[in-house]
Structure 1
Amino acid sequence: MTDHDGMASGPDFRDDQTMQDRVLPLRGIHNFRDYGGYAARGGRLRRGVLWRSGQHCDASPEDLDVVHELGLGTVFDLRGDSERAANPCLRHQDFAGEVLFHPGETASEHGRAVHEEAARGVVTAEDARKAMLRLYEQLAYREVLVGTFRLYLKTLATRDAPSLLHCLAGKDRTGVAAAIVHSVLGVHHDDIVADYLLTNTAGDAEARIAAGARHVRSGFGRSMDDAAVRVLMGVEAAFLDRAFKSMTERHGSVEGYARDMLGLTPEMLAGLEARLVA
């Protein structure tokens, strides 16, 4: 159901079991899940064509087999060049899709993910929360990330094969990108936030947090307390709200941001709707 503005009129797919059914329980790839299926403007997002995850450098052969069966035609890699060099993603031997990214660095700390960059100077959970809010306020305006977001929208609007969107942890850069697509397609805000927050429970969240803790502590010392690590390695609705607020203040809406910064045209939007909404 949609309202008069074309936005889905109420939250959808919100019970815990249905949300967890989106998740592929893989051994070495964290946060791998389907972000389709939500009520949208004019119908419902297709299932099995929009996938998101963390990086694949630790994928098991069994993981690669499962991912291969999805028939991915495009992989959008939101990491920076140094991240890709340090942690090259494993692919199935028969992978024939295309990996797309804008060259350069998406984090200001060479070789690090954006949440690791935010960890500098963090000791407490409150420090971490403030750092993540600062990060999200300007995340959607980083030049290299904007370049990959542009490729992401253009490709989704013109290709029919399933796609995968990922960064290192699949939560911040990936979370904002997925939320932009949800928003321009009229997914209800409550569902956008619910999908974003699924990072906190998708798959083996404790393993993901433990892996992240090693990275942030090795780079920024061991004075950071456990609660701070959990904030850095998780997501909160306030983070995404801060990103959306930044877009809205500068462009009037998330859709305005997509138009002004990512080159979303009416023709591209029609392509997105034709390929992603049933």
Structure 2
Amino acid sequence: MTVLDRADEGRVQPLEGVHNFRDYGGYRVAAGTLKRGLLFRSGQHAGAGAQDLDRIHALNLRTIVDLRGDAERAAMPCARHPEFGAEVLFAPGETAGIELAPHEEAGAGIATGEEARAAMTRLYENMPFRPVLVKSLRLYIAALADGEGASLVHCLAGKDRTGLAVALVHDLLGVHPDDIMADYLLTNTAGNREARIESAAAGIRDRYGAAMSDEAIVTLMSVEAAYLNTAMAAIRARHGSVADYARDVLGADDAWRGKVEARLVE
């Protein structure tokens, strides 16, 4: 299945102000192995310090796909290295149902971990079909085939919209289902998990009330297998297969797969 240990520390970038920054290459696919050092995912970069920006700059990113909505980008503009030169792609509009990240949206009206889990599961059922997010995913899909050099895909927390995007690409390229899920769930252990959760807790409680339990906050800021399974099941229910959804909705056909394999598989 995997080429590298899923817990390989080299996969996660040790950044202070950018959470969940990691390489999602290195897995076996149908045509070989996804290259390392070309495919990255993360949360937002608003809190990046100088050392973080130096580390990111050293990755030589050529393309950044921002899956956040307009309101999120305005509220938390990404910090950039003085020599930043990557192309940033995004679709105008809101990629969540309201002007919030998915985990923030799911926090409405909940107080317990069980309620948070149910809300996140419901959210994932519709996530693959949100119009502006679909436009953003099309940009991401196209960039993987037609771009040059290393790319980064990110949202606010780097776990829901980004997690779905990466899982779709892994699935289309033939990554083993166990590895797809392992990469998705790596959010729960990558980097400083406590700092990532703490960074969002105040904002969530400010919006929805201080009575929200710690368990609910942790649940909102984590991922579970049931979430991704729900999204994939919804895709199959509407389109028959992930491949059909990707072809008909995202533009990822056989020609796309050939280009991506030529660029990113060894």
- For the aligned pair, the TM-score class normalised by the smaller chain equals over 0.9
Is residue 2:242 matched to residue 1:254?
yes
Q: Is the 8 A contact 2:97 2:130 kept in 1?
A: no
Query: What is the deviation of 1:140?
Result: 0.8
Is residue 2:263 matched to residue 1:264?
no
**Gaps in structure 2 of 5+ consecutive residues:** none
What is the percentage of aligned positions where both structures have the same residue? 55
Counterpart CA distance in 2 for 1:48 and 1:215 is: 33
Counterpart CA distance in 1 for 2:145 and 2:218 is: 36
Query: What is the deviation of 1:108?
Result: 2.5
Q: Secondary structure at the match of 2:11?
A: coil
Q: Is the 8 A contact 2:6 2:182 kept in 1?
A: no
Query: What is the deviation of 1:21?
Result: 2.6
User: 2:191 matched to which residue of 1?
Assistant: 203
Amino acid at match of 2:181: V
Counterpart CA distance in 2 for 1:149 and 1:188 is: 21
Counterpart CA distance in 2 for 1:15 and 1:250 is: 32
Matches within 5 A, 1:183-194: 183-194=171-182
Is residue 2:25 matched to residue 1:32?
no
Residue by residue over 1:90-116, the C-alpha shift from the partner in whole angstroms, topping out at 9 and shown as x without a partner, is 111111110001100012232x21110
Counterpart CA distance in 2 for 1:83 and 1:269 is: 31
Q: Where does structure 1 differ by over 2 angstroms across 4 or more consecutive aligned residues?
A: 10-16
Q: Is the 8 A contact 2:6 2:183 kept in 1?
A: no
Counterpart CA distance in 2 for 1:267 and 1:145 is: 23
Query: What is the deviation of 1:12?
Result: 5.1
Counterpart CA distance in 2 for 1:121 and 1:255 is: 36
- Give the paired residue count: 266
Q: Secondary structure at the match of 1:79?
A: coil
Counterpart CA distance in 2 for 1:258 and 1:93 is: 37
Counterpart CA distance in 1 for 2:4 and 2:121 is: 27
Residue by residue over 1:115-150, the C-alpha shift from the partner in whole angstroms, topping out at 9 and shown as x without a partner, is 100100111111001000000000010000000100
Q: Is the 8 A contact 1:13 1:191 kept in 2?
A: no
Residue by residue over 1:229-256, the C-alpha shift from the partner in whole angstroms, topping out at 9 and shown as x without a partner, is 1110000011001011011111111111
Cα distance, 1:93–1:192 mapped onto 2, change above 3 Å = same
The alignment yields a C-alpha RMSD, in angstroms, of 1.0
Q: Is the 8 A contact 1:14 1:191 kept in 2?
A: no
Structure 1 length as normaliser, TM-score? Answer: 0.93
User: 2:202 matched to which residue of 1?
Assistant: 214
Cα distance, 1:232–1:257 mapped onto 2, change above 3 Å = same
Q: Is the 8 A contact 1:165 1:174 kept in 2?
A: yes
Amino acid at match of 1:25: P
Q: Is the 8 A contact 1:12 1:191 kept in 2?
A: no
User: 1:71 matched to which residue of 2?
Assistant: 60
Structure 2 length as normaliser, TM-score? Answer: 0.98
**Gaps in structure 1 of 5+ consecutive residues:** 1-9
Query: What is the deviation of 1:268?
Result: 1.1
